[in-house]
Structure 1
């Protein structure tokens, strides 16, 4: 059966994934640079929310209508997107255009990461001059991610699972654990708020919990579903695991930068509030980075026997392969 993935030769620039990736890269750089250059130069402004809660708004710059802590966090996201997200996307695109299975996985990973970032931007950041840019990034990265996953050549991924080069059980265990922990951490303040009749402390000046909604409705279930696919030996599990792993890895520098910027902006933290989340995400990020590296390494060049086995299994690429190791 002929492969539906990228050919071994270079693909034309008009290839849909190439065009979508370049548009995402251009828009993401524009949004991140604007957020960094159009910073706050004024003192925070007091504000009373619709629920009667006093908060401090950033007061100036692109994120003037966001709370001080949220604005600092968004600046941290801009830095990570500019220094990590976009370079990874371009490296992945280069590999994809050369027909590399690693490039395909990394492209799915970076598209998925940027999709999550700009879903939060379009839905969660207070309306500002870049709203339409966030919406465009949400749209293009969504279609880019779907196209990358649907059009991926499954045969190398089937071979990687069958040969045991990819730590399928470790990946599944990590995704089950991280998805469960995320759900429990996010549900705790929401359930407490319902029981005590008070809004969650992290609501700030927002009217709803966008990040919590995305994580509980999409990320945590996706982690569990992907873990199940991996335990069934399905190559789709690898394509979905890559963006989830990259998201966990990118959270560590984002959290560290957010904390530093929030402290600099005057947001009160005690040592436990800073050390606890940083230590927790440092552990998750380290394990996630190790698994992502092993996943990309395992999807590399195959031996002749593995290639022949992959051709046989490619007749039903989404069907069960040999049991995961």
Structure 2
């Protein structure tokens, strides 16, 4: 597993940066194309750019994701990888968290973005982030995680409640449109030209159960719960800039929003992002850094 992480994160960082750069440079020019969906509804496609066959709403959202990956995801991955390679348990946990975030992003792209010239890059990133994430989980020092469990300064109860609340909120947010559509015998809003809502699938099938499981394990003070919390916290923190920028780009592209539709998600994810960021920082601070530990041990010996 350690051999897998020697070069793989660097490859992921390079390919992710390239994919994000193409998405940002090859943006739609603002000439949407109206189409009739297989269900007889009308939708607006972006019409040109990398995401030309995605709807205007989705294309703008993808551009926001590309920007956040380039600005935060890739630098965070590189920093965590460098820290992991020097033997830092803190870096290893952050590496697992960042790879988990990128796995979520590129699973969404590989399964949900309309076919475009970067399809094979999306599949490559889906595969490499998946196996990198598994390798990173296996590489984390379990002794260091046990130290986190025993640390009285870690907000164990707050982390547990936050994970349970995140699982519940995710389930409610995505179940509401699906159940409403089932009761009305229609399709969920914004399904448009797509065959299935991939985000709903990933969040309801993977993210919400993972958050609930992590919360349960943290409640039991099991080290695995703290490790599973890392990718969930990184994802929650990066959702705030993604949603904020995505909403701005969607509005600029002509998508209409009411004031509550703009303020509600941004405020809600703002609160979750701030709390999640503080919990992530506290979790990482509780982990030892190998280089600092060695330096501290060498001082007295040399004296």
TM-score (norm 2): 0.93
Secondary structure of the residue that 2:117 maps to in structure 1? coil
Residue pairs, 1:1-325, within 5 angstroms: 15-301=3-289
- CA deviation map 1:154-191 (0-9, x unaligned): 10110121122422221111000110111011101101
Instruction: Tell me how far 1:204 sits from its aligned partner.
Output: 2.0
The two structures, once aligned, show a CA RMSD in angstroms of 1.5
The answer on whether the counterparts of 1:166 and 1:299 sit within 8 Å (CA) in structure 2 is: no
Q: Distance in 2 between matches of 1:214 and 1:163?
A: 33
Runs of 4 or more, structure 1, over 6 Å off, are none
- CA deviation map 1:233-259 (0-9, x unaligned): 221111110100011111000000001
Q: Distance in 2 between matches of 1:140 and 1:215?
A: 21
TM-score (norm 1): 0.87
Q: Distance in 2 between matches of 1:166 and 1:255?
A: 29
Instruction: Tell me how far 1:301 sits from its aligned partner.
Output: 4.8
Unaligned regions of 5+ residues in structure 2, if any? 294-303
Q: Which has the higher helix share?
A: 2
The answer on whether the counterparts of 2:20 and 2:67 sit within 8 Å (CA) in structure 1 is: yes
Aligned to 2:296: none
Aligned to 2:300: none
Aligned to 1:9: none
Secondary structure of the residue that 1:269 maps to in structure 2? coil
The answer on whether the counterparts of 1:245 and 1:288 sit within 8 Å (CA) in structure 2 is: yes
Instruction: Tell me how far 1:211 sits from its aligned partner.
Output: 0.5
Instruction: Tell me how far 1:272 sits from its aligned partner.
Output: 1.5
Secondary structure of the residue that 2:190 maps to in structure 1? helix
Q: Distance in 2 between matches of 1:152 and 1:160?
A: 13
- The total of aligned residue pairs comes to 292
- CA deviation map 1:25-84 (0-9, x unaligned): 011011000101111125100011000110100000000000001000000000000000
The answer on whether the counterparts of 2:167 and 2:212 sit within 8 Å (CA) in structure 1 is: yes
